[in-house]
């Protein structure tokens, strides 16, 4: 199966009432871990690469690894998504390379750090939507500003400084026509999300629920949604690591989100932790080893385990064979004739 449209994956997820994990990759082993987990759980899947990943791996390596994944697992619907595009040019180059979905994060200026105005965000996102939809490519936008910094991208802070305003979210979706919308509800990027177990004072699930009621056709996206489980932190620290105690987003909160319109759940940190813990364990217990396969294989297995667990928790497990993937050309036709419109319907309010 060729790489498929993320829009179709999310529409199917909405129909089935589940969420789809979007896992970040930088190299072959991470792609392999995700695809094996998808096969193991029979899940459709989104694999995403940030600007940092594209720079690390180089576009052509990354793209051809993704094509290999699609070739090796023809039964798995697989979308390739750009995470946090910072400008029209970045999104355009991803689309021209072969990504089937892009995120235009216009919540920040092109420096990836400074919050942008609402008008700037609408203008650049709309420009990307026009370019992408004409080619059958999905677009995720962002309204409100997430906390934390990852891969040099982010405004920093706790994530509560720029929580999404539901009125703005509706206006943004209407003006841009994005397929998916990342909202800021107190989550942040990276491992150090919360200094205590998060509750209603830090995770604004009520805002998410309010936005979904008013934008039932726009797929909501939760960023910074690693759970940062204690057992993964412990393995790292047990074998010489020095992580400070930290809390992520509890899986139950993500599942509450999924019951209220969240269709894409971004997970990166948990996989980083799993990989690092597995590598540390091998090197600590058998310091005489020097063949990279001796630690990359357990690292890959550790990541596969986390991904498979998330796929099951998000509900996408078992759904890989539910539908026939449409071609990107067919998706482009749907955008053109209006059948894929996400414009909010007054009747749905």
Instruction: Look at residue 269 and give its three-state secondary structure.
Output: helix
The site string for Zn ion over 165-204 (x = CB under 5 A, - otherwise) reads ----------------------------------------
CA–CA dist 170, 175 (Å, integer): 9
Q: What is the DSSP letter of 344?
A: P
Considering 83, 105, 179, 268, which one is annotated as catalytic?
83
CA–CA dist 223, 230 (Å, integer): 20
Compute the least distance from the CB of residue 97 to Zn ion, in Å. Answer: 20
Compute the least distance from the CB of residue 222 to Zn ion, in Å. Answer: 9
Q: Counting contacts by CB under 5 A, is residue 51 touching Zn ion?
A: no
Taking the least distance from each CB to Zn ion, the nearer of 11 and 151 is: 151
Q: What number of other Cβ atoms are within 10 A of residue 292's Cβ? A: 11
Helices of type H across 163-291: 166-176, 205-214, 230-238, 251-258, 269-285
Report helix angle 28-41 to 269-285, nearest 10.
Answer: 110
| Residue closest to 134 by CA, chosen among 331, 2, 327 | 331
| CA 139 centroid distance within chain | 12
Taking the least distance from each CB to Zn ion, the nearer of 41 and 227 is: 227
Taking the least distance from each CB to Zn ion, the nearer of 48 and 313 is: 48
Q: Counting contacts by CB under 5 A, is residue 153 touching Zn ion?
A: no
CA–CA dist 196, 193 (Å, integer): 9
Distances (CA, A) of 89 to 114, 119, 229: 18, 19, 37
Number of residues lying near Zn ion (CB under 5 A)? 1
Interface stretch with Zn ion, choices 133-141, 166-174, 216-224, 237-245 (CB under 5 A)? 216-224
Taking the least distance from each CB to Zn ion, the nearer of 16 and 115 is: 115
End-to-end CA distance of the chain: 37
Q: Counting contacts by CB under 5 A, is residue 310 touching Zn ion?
A: no
Beta-carbon contacts of 129 under 8 Å, excluding residues fewer than 6 positions away, are 104, 139, 141, 176, 177, 178
Interface stretch with Zn ion, choices 159-167, 194-202, 217-225, 288-296 (CB under 5 A)? 217-225
Q: Counting contacts by CB under 5 A, is residue 264 touching Zn ion?
A: no
Compute the least distance from the CB of residue 235 to Zn ion, in Å. Answer: 25
Compute the least distance from the CB of residue 266 to Zn ion, in Å. Answer: 5
Question: Which residue is at the shortest CB distance from Zn ion?
Answer: 223
CA–CA dist 44, 273 (Å, integer): 23
Instruction: Respond yes or no: is residue 27 known to be catalytic.
Output: no
Taking the least distance from each CB to Zn ion, the nearer of 81 and 223 is: 223
Q: What number of other Cβ atoms are within 10 A of residue 190's Cβ? A: 20
Compute the least distance from the CB of residue 268 to Zn ion, in Å. Answer: 8
Compute the least distance from the CB of residue 174 to Zn ion, in Å. Answer: 23
Q: What number of other Cβ atoms are within 10 A of residue 240's Cβ? A: 10
Q: Counting contacts by CB under 5 A, is residue 300 touching Zn ion?
A: no
DSSP-assigned beta bridge partners for residue 139: 102
Taking the least distance from each CB to Zn ion, the nearer of 68 and 160 is: 160
Which of 7, 126, 204, 223 lies at the binding interface for Zn ion (CB under 5 A)? 223
Q: Counting contacts by CB under 5 A, is residue 272 touching Zn ion?
A: no
Compute the least distance from the CB of residue 54 to Zn ion, in Å. Answer: 15
Taking the least distance from each CB to Zn ion, the nearer of 272 and 281 is: 272
Q: Which residues bind Zn ion (CB under 5 A)?
A: 223
As annotated, the active-site residues are 83
């Amino acid at each position: 199966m060729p790489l498929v449209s993320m829009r179709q994956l999310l529409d199917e997820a909405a129909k089935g009432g589940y969420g789809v994990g979007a896992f970040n990759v930088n190299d072959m082993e991470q792609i392999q871990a995700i695809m094996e987990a998808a096969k193991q759980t029979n899940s459709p899947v989104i694999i995403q690469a940030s600007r940092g990943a594209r720079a690390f791996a180089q576009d052509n390596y990354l793209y051809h690894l993704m094509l290999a994944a699609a070739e090796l697992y023809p039964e798995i619907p697989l979308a390739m998504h750009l995470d946090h595009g910072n400008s029209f040019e970045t999104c355009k180059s991803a689309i021209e390379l072969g990504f089937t979905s892009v995120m235009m994060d216009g919540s920040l200026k092109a420096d990836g750090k400074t919050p942008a105005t609402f008008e700037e965000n609408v203008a650049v996102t709309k420009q990307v939507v026009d370019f992408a939809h004409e080619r059958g490519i999905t677009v995720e936008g962002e309204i409100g500003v997430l906390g934390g910094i990852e891969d040099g991208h982010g405004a920093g802070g706790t994530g509560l400084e720029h929580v999404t305003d539901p009125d703005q979210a509706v206006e943004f979706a209407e003006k841009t026509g994005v397929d998916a919308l990342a909202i800021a509800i107190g989550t942040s990027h990276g491992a150090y999300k919360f200094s205590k177990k998060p509750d209603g004072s830090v995770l604004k699930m009520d805002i998410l629920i309010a936005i979904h009621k008013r934008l039932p056709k726009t797929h909501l996206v939760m960023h910074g949604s690693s759970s940062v489980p204690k057992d993964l932190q412990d393995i790292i620290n047990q074998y010489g690591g020095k992580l400070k105690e930290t809390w992520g987003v509890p899986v139950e909160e993500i599942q509450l989100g999924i019951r209220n319109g969240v269709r894409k759940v971004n997970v990166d940190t948990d996989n980083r932790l799993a990989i690092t813990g597995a590598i540390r364990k091998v090197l600590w217990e058998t310091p005489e080893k020097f063949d990279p396969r001796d630690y990359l294989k357990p690292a890959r297995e550790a990541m596969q385990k986390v991904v498979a667990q998330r796929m099951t928790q998000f509900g996408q497990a078992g759904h890989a064979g539910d539908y026939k993937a449409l071609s990107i050309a067919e998706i482009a036709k749907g955008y053109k004739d209006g059948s894929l419109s996400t414009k909010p319907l007054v009747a749905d309010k």
